Structure 1
Amino acid sequence: MGTTRSRLVGLLGLAALPPVLEEALLVGVGLHAARGLAPQATAVWPYDSYHDLRWLLVYHNSWEMFLLGLLLLTVLRGVLSAGLTALAWPAGVPRPSWGWLVRRNLEVALVAAAVISPWAALSVAFSAVALSWYLFASLGPMLVLAPFLLRAGVVSRWWKGLPTIELFGWASLNFVVLTLAGAVISSTTGWWAVVMAGLAGVANGLLWQRTVAAAAAPVRRWGRVPVGPIAIALTLAGAIWAQALIGFALGGGQGQWRPPVLTERLPDRVPHAVIVLGGHNSSWDGTPAADPRVERFSYRGLDAQGRPLPYPPEATHRSLDSSSALLADQVESVHRRTGRPVALLGQSEGSMVARTYLERLPRGPVTTVVMFSPLVQAGRTYYPPPGHAGWGVAAGWELRAMFWLANLPLAVKDDPDSSFVRSVLSNAPFYRNRTLCPVAGVRMIAFLPTVSAAEAPPGEYSRVPVYQQPALHGGLVGDRAVEDQVVAFLAGEPVEMPRPEYGLLQRLGAAWQAPPLALMLNPIWSATREGDPAMTGRICEAR
């Protein structure tokens, strides 16, 4: 009995120590946005490797640093997991030798690094462009792989048979615990976060005890089928398929985007001329809007008569600065033609073009801006252009390889180094800090789907009025109730509807975001006068 109790105390102490140390370091340096990650330091496979790889892919600035970090993290993860497994071993069941557990868990750490790395790279891409599709895509494989990797660290013939429902259940419960722990820590101020991280580590220890016992039990189904390798192969392939699915969701299947403001006449009480800006991979065949006061923004610019040119999806891949310059020309053209003040209505990338225009160029006749699904706090991670060194260099090449494979069957190719993406990365301090900040003389509103709550770290995210409604990214445009609110706002009426669950959803997503790269570390960002929400939890502030 005494031995069993001492092993439990040792297990809980070992499981609590790394989260406590990591949380203390994060609180000490003030990296506010990453505090929810610390409990994963002793989570069960593969959440622990997902934690390690996200930190490594963001916080390395050379290939040497990446390879050395990968080697060090693999060894530490293998030894730590062997120790947790040994202490969690069920009484009455013969335990392998310490040497076998170390060797096996080092092997599992290598396999996990290879299998999880593409999904961790997707998490980096998510934080770069603040699109929740990438975040959600990267989490599914963790739930699928967990029981297989857990068995791999415990039994020799782990690849055969379907893990028990108990093992699936305990591994999934760890995901829930980590999510809730990240939310609680993100809601806690000061050094209390360290205490919460310690308690989360204790919960991890108890779950190690349960999962090791479940993993050591004999399988009952498909005992001769190599289910483990099949699951791993599908997970690796899924990292490529995810790119195609995300590209489709973000506009590849969108084609001619025609929200009601383009297909219906505006009420007379709207005093504006309206320019409607489509999102990434949108296209336009030149069909005019139903109301002559409404015009579609062209990512190709204007013809000799000042009319917007039709454009293909590839035209939306240009830089935000370039698109905002085209918008400036079109704003002047529409103002001259109609004699009215101009309102901008943008979706996703179109919102970012409108916001860049307000910042970079004289706003002129623009008095109203409506932003649908803007990228909330984009530019939280970085990778350098090809041929250059810098923070996230390995993550960049991993994303290029994944996108190259994903693009093979696609007609419209997405590129992690497109001019649009690079403009977000280069001007990250502005987009991270000021996208949803007010502009003098301009009425602004952001229509945010509740899924965007997972796109922003806990803390302040907007100082302009927001209208929030349950929906996916880009899913609010076309909703009749939302369209009525847009018309009311264009007519000068006050519109605002924040939802109380938005802040809770922000905190629940905190554990699964990649850690943000501090602005002061990146040389191309360090000269900026922008404040860093990753450190303060506040936006719209100067350094």
Structure 2
Amino acid sequence: MRRPETRLVALFALAALPPAVEAVILVRLGFIAAEGLSPQVTAVWPYDTYHDLRWLYVYHDSWANFVVGLLLVIGFRGVLTTGLVALAWPRDVPRPALLWLLGRNVGLAAVTAVLVSPWAVISVAASVVALSWVLLASLLPMFLLAPFLQRAAVIGPWWRGLPSIALVGWSLLNLVVITVAGALCWSAPGWWTVPVALLAGLANGLLWERTVHAAVTAPRVRWARVPATPLAALLALAVPLAIPPLVQIIPAGLAIEQVVLGQRLPDDVRQAVIVIAGHGSGYDGGLPADPNVERFSYRGLGADGRPRPYQPIDTTLSLEDGSALLEIQVDRLHRRTGRPVALLAESEGAMLARTYLAQRPHAAVDTLIMFSPLIDAGRAYYPPPGKSHGRGVVTGWQLRVLFGAVDAISGEGGGPDEPFIRSLLENAPFYRNQLMCPVPGVRMVAFLPTTTAAEAPPGDYTRIPVFQMPGVHGGLLNRSLVQDRLIHFLAGLPVSKTRREYPLLQQLGAAWQAPPLAIDANPVWNDQRQPDPAFTGRVCLPG
């Protein structure tokens, strides 16, 4: 029989070695953006499976490759967890036979993969669109399921009854440890990432010891006859269905339309202005208060030269088609007013304006102001529905099922293959490396809400001035401040502000991002090679 000290040493070694090995591989490859994931290799259920599936969803390139990878993940996770549970078992409680533990944990690995897969694939979707609420939709169900799954490896009818308060507490601490460890791994320079990952693995070992102890020695189970775990799984399934409607209900704060459309611009603003609203916006055809201001129409101009009214569904058009419409409207507004043109663009509108400046720039456009741009979008890929091979092929089909369920309930339409999303996927190298780069002859600034910090991997992301302030995507909270800074910038004054908490929030989000798909790993991007910020740690490098 093992001495307690020997058992604990073996537990800590088994928990620490895999994160260190992954960290060695990532540092050796120079895969900077993924370094925050390494502590999760030996995290307590279900975060370890969440780690595995995100890699699989991003990097598989066929159905067969995905199935083989999934079986390998289940086998590896079942064997590793068997060892961790056996070593963490309280020495004063009889432990089941290793064969029983192995069967239980391999089966549990398969069940957990099924339960976690929707949230892992939503995490990949978040890396495509760079929206914090999509990332939140992948994390909340994980936290909800964690206390239920963390007892499954050690007790019999684990699907019945509520987890103990102790398990809930250890689950919360597990989340904190993963978050902090991911931030530290990403922040550590070079090979220092490896010892940090090793220490994070040691912390995982302690969490396994405490979690197994809490599950095995739990007092009387509350609601012992109620199938609480299946009910929790159903509740978790409802989370991504509920978040989109909640996002629509919760006040977002100030939208850019409110800043310039309802009042005349000051005399010291010499530009004519086009306001480009974001995804899901609508326009009833009303005229702005200032004749030198126009609303961009996702349906183009009418026969009278005025922007046509449009519905939210019209905003799903591709960025390339949108930039063609913007080219026509810029030219007409410039000829009508005789003024240079400034673009005020929000969210999808910011991506459209930046695409326009890259593909169809007009000499009259001298200013771009972006609100809530989708920073580092396109970090994953999945092929169109007609393709049976390609990076993320299974990811695409699972997203279509999930979005189809959301659409059946909400009736909002759209989905993972709408033209706007496919623009981000097909031209991802540009949006990952060039979105926040200077354009010759154009003054630029980006107003960033603090939630943007959680929407992309930490590190260098801009070479243009930014103005960071509290807010959520598509809404900045301080109307007077935004309005003043916006007018100042239009009048020619420099505008920029960074907040001290912004890089910290970036680092704390490092553990929860899906690993970026390397640009050179996707054949679809062969004709648009760009330096990859996921490896260089920098943006705006020349191709």
Task: Give the TM-score range, shorter chain.
Answer: over 0.9
- Post-superposition offset of 1:91: 1.9
Residues 139-173 of structure 1, C-alpha deviations (whole Å, 9 max, x = no match): 11111111111111110021222111111111111
Q: In 2, Cα distance between the equivalents of 1:305 and 1:196?
A: 64
- Post-superposition offset of 1:237: 3.3
Shift >6 Å, 4+ stretches: none
Correspondence 1:115-154 to 2 at 5 A: 115-154=115-154
- Post-superposition offset of 1:477: 7.1
Report the counterpart of residue 406 of structure 2 in structure 1.
406
2:121 partner amino acid: A
Q: In 2, Cα distance between the equivalents of 1:69 and 1:444?
A: 45
Residues 339-393 of structure 1, C-alpha deviations (whole Å, 9 max, x = no match): 1111000110001111011100123211111000000011100000012120000
Q: In 2, Cα distance between the equivalents of 1:78 and 1:2?
A: 22
Give the root-mean-square deviation of aligned CA atoms. 1.8
Work out whether residues 341 and 366 of structure 2, in 8 Å CA contact, stay in contact via their aligned partners in 1.
yes
Q: Does 1:433 align with 2:433?
A: yes
- Post-superposition offset of 1:257: 7.8
Q: In 2, Cα distance between the equivalents of 1:93 and 1:146?
A: 24
**In the superposition, relative to structure 1, how do residues 224 and 461 fare at CA in structure 2: closer, same or farther (>3 Å)?**
same
Report the counterpart of residue 374 of structure 1 in structure 2.
373
1:229 partner amino acid: P
Work out whether residues 274 and 343 of structure 2, in 8 Å CA contact, stay in contact via their aligned partners in 1.
yes
Report the counterpart of residue 332 of structure 1 in structure 2.
331
Work out whether residues 299 and 315 of structure 1, in 8 Å CA contact, stay in contact via their aligned partners in 2.
yes
Work out whether residues 529 and 542 of structure 1, in 8 Å CA contact, stay in contact via their aligned partners in 2.
no
- Post-superposition offset of 1:2: 6.4
Q: In 2, Cα distance between the equivalents of 1:30 and 1:537?
A: 9
Report the counterpart of residue 298 of structure 1 in structure 2.
297
**In the superposition, relative to structure 1, how do residues 376 and 106 fare at CA in structure 2: closer, same or farther (>3 Å)?**
same
- Post-superposition offset of 1:115: 1.1
- Post-superposition offset of 1:410: 2.9
Q: Which moved more, 1:195-204 or 1:469-478?
A: 469-478
Correspondence 1:312-351 to 2 at 5 A: 312-351=311-350
1:336 partner amino acid: R
- Post-superposition offset of 1:27: 0.8
Report the counterpart of residue 225 of structure 2 in structure 1.
224
Q: In 1, Cα distance between the equivalents of 2:109 and 2:516?
A: 24
* Matched residues, number: 541
- Post-superposition offset of 1:111: 1.5
1:335 partner amino acid: H
SS in 2 for 1:133: helix
Report the counterpart of residue 385 of structure 2 in structure 1.
386
1:323 partner amino acid: G
Report the counterpart of residue 99 of structure 1 in structure 2.
99
Work out whether residues 278 and 346 of structure 1, in 8 Å CA contact, stay in contact via their aligned partners in 2.
yes
Q: In 1, Cα distance between the equivalents of 2:61 and 2:338?
A: 52
Work out whether residues 322 and 352 of structure 2, in 8 Å CA contact, stay in contact via their aligned partners in 1.
yes
Work out whether residues 140 and 239 of structure 2, in 8 Å CA contact, stay in contact via their aligned partners in 1.
no
Residues 193-245 of structure 1, C-alpha deviations (whole Å, 9 max, x = no match): 01110100000000000000111123442223221111012212334444555
Residues 400-429 of structure 1, C-alpha deviations (whole Å, 9 max, x = no match): 000111101334302100100001100000
Q: In 1, Cα distance between the equivalents of 2:196 and 2:384?
A: 39
Work out whether residues 115 and 235 of structure 1, in 8 Å CA contact, stay in contact via their aligned partners in 2.
no
Q: Which moved more, 1:29-38 or 1:472-481?
A: 472-481
Report the counterpart of residue 212 of structure 2 in structure 1.
212
Q: Which moved more, 1:85-94 or 1:473-482?
A: 473-482
SS in 1 for 2:344: strand
Work out whether residues 137 and 239 of structure 2, in 8 Å CA contact, stay in contact via their aligned partners in 1.
no
Work out whether residues 33 and 515 of structure 1, in 8 Å CA contact, stay in contact via their aligned partners in 2.
yes
Report the counterpart of residue 27 of structure 2 in structure 1.
27
SS in 2 for 1:78: helix
Report the counterpart of residue 473 of structure 1 in structure 2.
473
- Post-superposition offset of 1:502: 1.0
Identity %: 58
Report the counterpart of residue 274 of structure 1 in structure 2.
273
SS in 1 for 2:410: coil
**In the superposition, relative to structure 1, how do residues 296 and 322 fare at CA in structure 2: closer, same or farther (>3 Å)?**
same
Q: In 2, Cα distance between the equivalents of 1:184 and 1:219?
A: 39
Report the counterpart of residue 261 of structure 1 in structure 2.
260
**In the superposition, relative to structure 1, how do residues 352 and 433 fare at CA in structure 2: closer, same or farther (>3 Å)?**
same
Report the counterpart of residue 184 of structure 1 in structure 2.
184
Which blocks of at least 5 consecutive residues in structure 2 are unaligned? none
Q: In 2, Cα distance between the equivalents of 1:347 and 1:477?
A: 15
Residues 60-116 of structure 1, C-alpha deviations (whole Å, 9 max, x = no match): 000000000001101111111111011001121121111111111112211111111
**In the superposition, relative to structure 1, how do residues 333 and 249 fare at CA in structure 2: closer, same or farther (>3 Å)?**
farther
**In the superposition, relative to structure 1, how do residues 400 and 250 fare at CA in structure 2: closer, same or farther (>3 Å)?**
farther
